[in-house]
Amino acid sequence: MMFVLSTRSPPLVCLVTRVIGPATLTMKPFSHKLHSVIIQTLLLGESWGVIRELLMTTATYETDFYGWTERQAALLRAEEFEAVDWNNLIEEIETLGRSEAHKVENRLIVLIMHLLKWAYQPERRSRGWEHTIAEQRDRLDRLLRKNPTLRARLPEMIEFIYPYAVKKALRETGFLVSPFPPACPYASTEILDDNFLPDE
């Protein structure tokens, strides 16, 4: 295991060596920024385990994801950009974005399913159903407020998820033959409108 320590800070070298135990030390100066991050971490009362994670070069994306995320965050704060695992970091950022889109899609599926049930089972309408639709709209609105870019993509997202909403509505209603239209009958503005409840 290799740790990179600064020759400009002999006391820090001695302290880290004592904490991490036997290790291969590369006496290579690191930036003043990283040195500052380590000192600030100590002043905040963090354990030497945190410093050890900061200096470790073996916490990889494949073997220790949590350790990898902590190390990447520490490197970015210290502006040690040459040491950042950019390929995996970019992949994780893209995955995070896709995750937010999936959350919106899942919320749309549930909401449209309830709107279809409201429209095609009028005899079963209740205050409970109305409350469920309102709650789903609130949750969708919160997601869109956090991710306003996705609001512009709602029409294409609705087109994509509508068949899944129909499948879910068929399971919920028990209809043997689908009475639902082949394309979503509701505009995105109607789906989001707190005052909109469809008739068949």
Tally of domains within the chain: 2
Let me know the angle formed at the C-alpha of 13 by 12 and 19, rounded to the nearest 5 degrees.
90
What tokens were used for 164? 């899944």
**Is residue 115 domain-shared with residue 170, that is, in the same domain?**
yes
Distance CA 160, CA 165 (A): 10
pLDDT at 182 over 90: yes
Same domain, 77 and 104: no
What is the span of the domain harbouring residue 150? Answer: 99-192
Does the residue 63 lie in any domain?
yes
C-alpha distance from residue 92 to each of 84, 87, 98, 143 (Å): 13, 9, 10, 20
- Whether residue 197 is contained in a domain is answered as no
Same domain, 188 and 108: yes
**Using 50, 70 and 90 to split pLDDT, how confident is the model at 66?**
confident
Continuous H helices in the chain:
10-20, 32-43, 48-55, 65-77, 86-120, 127-146, 154-173, 188-192
Q: Are residues 54 and 109 in the same domain?
A: no
Among 15, 50, 84, residue at a domain's last position = 84
Query: Per the domain annotation, does 66 fall within a domain?
Result: yes
Asked if 82 and 45 count as a contact pair (C-beta separation under 8 A), the reply is no
| Whether residue 74 sits in one domain with residue 150 | no
188 within 8 A of 105, measured Cβ to Cβ: no
Phi, psi of 80 (to 5 degrees): -90, 65
**How far apart are the C-alpha atoms of 196 and 100, rounded to whole Å?**
25
Q: How far apart are CA 71 and CA 85, in angstroms?
A: 9
Average pLDDT over every residue of 110-136: 95
- The reply to whether 50 and 104 lie within a common domain is no
The answer to whether residue 78 is domain-embedded is yes
Cα gap 2→82, rounded to integer Å: 17
Q: How confident is the model at residue 55 (pLDDT cuts 50, 70, 90)?
A: low
- With both helix axes pointing from N to C terminus, report the angle between 48-55 and 10-20 in degrees, rounded to the nearest 10: 100
Residue 58 has pLDDT above 70, yes or no: no
Mean pLDDT of the region 17-40: 48
So what's the pLDDT on residue 200? 56
Domain-embedded: residue 134? yes
Query: Where is the domain boundary, 60, 84, 108?
Result: 84
Alpha carbon distance 141, 135 (integer Å): 10
